[in-house]
Chains A and B, each alone.
Chain A
Amino acid sequence: MKYQAEILLLKNKLRLMRGTLRHAWQGLIGILAVGGMLLYQFFFGIAKVGYGKSATPRGVFYTLLLVAAINLFRVFFNQTPVFRIEAASVLHTYNTGFFRKSLAHKQFLSVLSSTLVAGIMACILSGFNFDLVFLKLWLILTLYICNCTFLSWIFYHAQGKIRRVVCVVFFLCTFLLFWRIILSAAVLALSLCTGWVYARRFLRLNTPKYFERLQGLEVASVAASQNDYARMQQLAEENRPSYVRGPMLYQFKPTKRTALWVKSLLELFRMQKQTVILLALLLLSGWIVNRTNLFAFMPLLDDPAITRVIAVLCTTTACSGLYQLLVKQAKTVSDKRKIGLSLPYSTRQIIVSYGMTAILLNMVLTLAICLLYATFSIRLILLFFTEVIAYFVPCCTQLYETRFQRGVTTLSNALLFAGVYFLLVA
């Protein structure tokens, strides 16, 4: 059958997408919503664009600055190749025309998507007026983004002198982007053609590097698609440093009674820095939106009723995220018994040991929230108890593997939300 290989590859991709959508649709919707909101704020809040009203010169300048910054990252710092095919295709089709054809196909798709993105940006910046200004902006943005895509591809594979040439060409292109005259478009087009011909004809791919990176990326996407938490955990572990700092278990002189509790404390101390920063940022962003005027210039964020709800949401999300991590740690210990690790602890003992750490953490968390929002009242005891319930109930349902785990988690989150709302708003 003609195009059978292409059809099979498409099948593989669609099945992967189906799995990802089935298991991670909430996250994807969240990302889309946040992305859409940020873009809306940027164009309509900061650049002051409207229907029939083009962006101010400063707005255009900031937009181009943002485009240049993103492309600077794409060309020089991004460790992900811009044209991605399946790692298996590299392995099984490397010495065939199909491999080159697949890459060319990706390049064509990339040019198309760049044209689309540039078109949307030009359209918004020109206030939805389809005139010469729009056309010029569209053309220059398209050529610039395409140029950067090819430069990124060349930079990824090349070494030495070629990389220096890429640097020079990138800064020349960026200069032309801001200059925005017809000559810019001509030079950018010339540069794009040269980059394309070089990438197709002369660039010697760093195949092992490309292959390894694709394999790594695929493992992550397949784990997400198949909802394989063990594999995702393994990936996270592989990216962690291979040694640990800070206190060690033996320093606490654990007994049988305290060993699990000490272990849970150490796991908390050794929690990844990024996770701690993310949780702290969530708490802080709620406070910034609610208690400062930093974002008051943006539409909707000047209304205290909305900012209060945002603050409650941020605080609830931070607490809920933390509890999920704690429950996961207890569950990992419990699961290890099933795969043969001889642990002399019952499920109840695991829940109690890990629960003690959770209670301590909840005390600190409640105090931190009260300090942050300067709201000291008897309600903080209520918040503490809702936090304890929000941790213990999902923990018990998951460790005892009862039914309705998802429903229980949702209800606990709702309770937590109510507790935070009662403290901060009511």
Chain B
Amino acid sequence: MDLEVKQVFYSYRDVLALDGISFSASRGQIVGLVGENGAGKTTIIKNIYRYLTPDSGTITLDGKNIFSYPEGDYPVSYIPDVPVFYEELSLLEHLHFIKAIYPQGSVSADEIIEKLDLREHQDKIPAALSKGTRQKLMIAMALMREYEMLIADEPFSGLDPKQIATLKALLLEQKEKGKIVLLSSHLLDVTEYICDQYVVVKNGKCLLSGSKQNLLSATQLPKDSTMEEVYLRLVEQDEVSS
């Protein structure tokens, strides 16, 4: 199963947010969506998650237009950048809610609680949780669904180093299971060691996409350069050419 975004345009009224963006992602890959604020990363994610409908262009999953999937059969799970909860339900009740909505998911509430070390917080409401634990709950809710593609929008924000390591391991586990993982993040040093492919976005366009090796050769940087250096070079080249 592959994701293919082909020549997608999207405007918020008069503001062009996506300017014919194209890229693809394959199963068993973690694809990093990188770019500055306002580059269009979240708009791409919202289009893939069907929150928005492209003005033109197509998005296909396994060769099938994403809008042709019936409700309840769209195999995409999403971790948003801002956690949103039912403010009066406890952590455990949130997980039971997700289980009730997605009964086909193979992970139980108990398993995910153990996995993410949430046991001591299970009876707390979201307002009583720390930022990192709230983020972990969001991740737990996303992982409990049945999905083929996981979209994570800034999932590392608010997490401490230990939690970041746990999340990285979880994302790698998804990759091992053959899922597509689309990861949008500002933290290039964190994504560097887990992403197989990168899509560099600027002004709603894809500047370049490919593995780190491809990006290194395109930017003519030494092999030991970091992703941050690659990204800065790409942006610089784009500014010079435009």
Q: Which residues of A contact B (CB under 8 A)?
A: 1, 4-5, 8-9, 11-12, 15-16, 19, 86-88, 91-100, 204, 207-208, 211, 215, 218, 222, 225-226
Cβ-closest chain B residue relative to A99:
B71
Q: What residues on A are CB-neighbors of B141 within 8 Å?
A: 92
If A15-B88, A86-B86, A208-B51 touch, whether A8 touches B97 (CB-CB below 8 Å) is yes
B85-122 CB contact bits vs A (8 Å, 1 = yes)? Answer: 11111000100111111100000000000000000000
Task: Judge if B168 is at the interface, Cβ distance under 8 Å.
Answer: no
Q: What residues on B are CB-neighbors of A87 within 8 Å?
A: 84
Best-surrounded residue of B53, B74, B88, B141 (most CB of chain A within 10 A)? B88
Q: What residues on B are CB-neighbors of A9 within 8 Å?
A: 86, 97
Q: What residues on A are CB-neighbors of B46 within 8 Å?
A: 207-208
Q: Which residues of B contact A (CB under 8 A)?
A: 46, 49-53, 69, 71-72, 74, 76, 78, 80, 84-89, 93, 96-102, 127, 141
How far is B90's CA from A15's CA once the two chains are assembled, in angstroms? 11
Q: Give the number of residue pairs across the A-B interface with Cβ within 8 Å.
A: 75
How far is B85's CA from A11's CA once the two chains are assembled, in angstroms? 14
Q: How far is the CB of A373 from the nearest CB of chain B, in Å?
A: 47
Flag if B88 contacts A95 (CB, 8 Å): no
How far is B51's CA from A15's CA once the two chains are assembled, in angstroms? 29
Q: How far is the CB of B99 from the nearest CB of chain A, in Å?
A: 8
19 A-B pairs, CB-CB below 8 angstroms?
Answer: A4-B96, A4-B97, A4-B99, A4-B100, A8-B86, A11-B88, A12-B88, A12-B89, A16-B87, A16-B88, A88-B84, A88-B85, A92-B101, A95-B71, A98-B101, A204-B53, A207-B46, A215-B84, A218-B87
Q: What residues on B are CB-neighbors of A88 within 8 Å?
A: 84-86
Q: How far is the CB of B35 from the nearest CB of chain A, in Å?
A: 19
A12, A208, A225, A226: the one contacting B52 at CB < 8 Å is A208
How far is B222's CA from A300's CA once the two chains are assembled, in angstroms? 88
How far is B102's CA from A49's CA once the two chains are assembled, in angstroms? 54
Q: Which 4 A-B pairs have the closest CB atoms?
A: A15-B88, A5-B100, A4-B100, A95-B74
How far is B84's CA from A222's CA once the two chains are assembled, in angstroms? 13
A5, A15, A215: the one contacting B97 at CB < 8 Å is A5
How far is B78's CA from A88's CA once the two chains are assembled, in angstroms? 13
How far is B97's CA from A1's CA once the two chains are assembled, in angstroms? 11
Flag if A95 contacts B50 (CB, 8 Å): yes
Flag if B127 contacts A8 (CB, 8 Å): no
Q: How far is the CB of B124 from the nearest CB of chain A, in Å?
A: 14
Besides A11-B93, A96-B71, 18 other CB < 8 A contacts? A1-B100, A4-B97, A5-B97, A5-B100, A8-B89, A8-B100, A11-B88, A11-B89, A12-B88, A88-B84, A88-B86, A94-B49, A96-B102, A100-B71, A204-B53, A208-B51, A208-B52, A225-B88
Q: How far is the CB of A94 from the nearest CB of chain B, in Å?
A: 7
Q: How far is the CB of B53 from the nearest CB of chain A, in Å?
A: 6
Q: What residues on B are CB-neighbors of A4 within 8 Å?
A: 96-97, 99-100
Cβ-closest chain B residue relative to A219:
B87
Q: How far is the CB of A30 from the nearest CB of chain B, in Å?
A: 25
